[in-house]
Amino acid sequence: MPLNYLRLRFRDDGYGIGVLFARTEADGFSGAGEAYFDITEIENFAKAVSIFPLPAGICPAISGGVGTNAKYGERLGITVSLWDAQRGYVAVQVRMQTETWRLGRLESLHSARIEILTTYQPLADFGKELINLVHGRSKEAFLYGECIF
């Protein structure tokens, strides 16, 4: 049975921002990425994912990267989005993309979009772990998904 998860690590730069590193795997697919985030933005996301149930029409999300340009389009680093998947499940979609430098080729871009399903209690635990992560009280935050057949 495959292990479905999202693992986040954080390197604080000491100025209220830092690099968030993500690794996710679901049903045999995996990806990894990194992006700069403001610590307050991560804290707000952690609080939003801990709400039970998710408010109707509200889909907590966090996204970091280097913006967009005409040649490469959207240049995200990491985007994590949630929505109610009904029947007590929450869908967590993680999009990751490697950085493309000014002289890089679009064809050299690596990207992944992985979705895991989880329930509210693991999501609430993940929110707490995320707060501990950005404040240096833990080394990583895990969100484990469910294998649904």
| Domain range summary for the chain, segments of one domain joined by + | 5-139
pLDDT at 75: 59
Six-digit token pair at 20? 């968030």
Across the range 45-61, mean pLDDT stands at: 91
Assign domain 5-139 to its CATH architecture.
2-Layer Sandwich (3.30)
Digit-coded pLDDT (tens) for 16-49:
999 999 999 998 899 999 999 999 999 999 999 9
Q: Tell me the residue length of the chain.
A: 149
Residues 47 and 28: their CA atoms lie apart, in Å, by: 30
CA dihedral 144, 6, 93, 51 (to 10 degrees): 60
